[in-house]
């Protein structure tokens, strides 16, 4: 297996937003500890991990994630802001994505959100991962027993965060170019 060159850590961190694109992510407990505030009643963390298969591939052993880190980081920051606008009372949001070679079972993406109540936290976490997947320019090369294969060949250009957020909130949970809500 070969890996692409991986840029250094790219990070945006404020009191309420922690976005990161890097070859190695901090432990998820770091995001939890950072997100908890006196008014926090719920923290939801979602981690996407490398699994042993893809849509057209079995026996995946690792995935090489490629991104233009500055643009990916800007999109993560936009997703966090969109979540804050969509879910009143939402607390801190941490969105992290790995680049480079990620082994089977290891986390490639982390979403941590805090809120006063569990419903808001769960909904906001789902919103963040769905909009992140639709808008953040990260590409995958899957490695299996037969070699390396681009997993997203021919994938659509990511839609804008605003369009993906509107679509998600309208109940579409994705981008459909033919839908007025998604355009």
In a domain, 176, yes or no: no
In a domain, 86, yes or no: yes
Residue recorded with tokens 């805090």: 114
> Distance of CA 137 to CAs 29, 43, 94, Å?
26, 26, 18
In a domain, 143, yes or no: yes
CATH number at residue 42: 3.90.1170.40
In a domain, 169, yes or no: no
In a domain, 179, yes or no: no
In a domain, 180, yes or no: no
Structure tokens at 13: 């961190």
Share of the chain above pLDDT 90, in %: 67
**The pLDDT of residue 146:** 77
In a domain, 183, yes or no: no
pTM: 0.85
The whole domain housing 127 covers: 10-156
Q: Which among 3, 133, 18 has a CA at the least distance from the CA of 66?
A: 3
Residue recorded with tokens 């893809």: 54
Mean pLDDT of 159-177: 77
Residue recorded with tokens 């809500």: 181
Spatial contact of 134 and 174, defined as CB atoms under 8 Å apart: yes
In a domain, 73, yes or no: yes
Number of domains in the chain: 1
- Condensed to tens digits (0 to 9), the pLDDT of residues 65-104 reads 999 899 999 999 999 999 999 999 999 999 999 999 999 9
Share of the chain above pLDDT 70, in %: 80
Is residue 143 classed exposed, middle or buried when 0-12, 13-18 and 19+ CB atoms within 10 A define those classes? Answer: buried
């Amino acid at each position: 297996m070969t890996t692409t060159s991986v840029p250094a850590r790219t990070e945006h961190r404020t009191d309420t937003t922690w976005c990161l694109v890097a070859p190695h992510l901090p432990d998820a407990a770091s995001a939890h500890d950072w997100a908890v505030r006196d008014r926090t009643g719920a923290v939801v963390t979602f981690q996407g991990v490398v699994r042993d298969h893809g849509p057209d591939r079995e026996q995946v052993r690792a995935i090489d994630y490629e991104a233009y880190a500055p643009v990916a980081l800007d999109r993560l920051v936009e997703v966090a802001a969109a979540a804050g606008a969509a879910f009143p009372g939402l607390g801190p949001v941490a969105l992290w994505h790995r680049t480079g070679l990620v082994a089977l079972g290891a986390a490639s993406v982390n979403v941590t959100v805090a809120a006063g109540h569990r419903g808001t936290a769960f909904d906001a976490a789902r919103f963040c991962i769905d909009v992140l997947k639709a808008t953040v320019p990260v590409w995958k090369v899957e490695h299996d027993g037969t070699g390396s294969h681009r997993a997203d060949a021919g994938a659509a250009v990511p839609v804008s965060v605003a369009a993906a957020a509107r679509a998600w909130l309208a109940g579409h949970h994705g981008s459909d170019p033919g839908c007025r809500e998604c355009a």
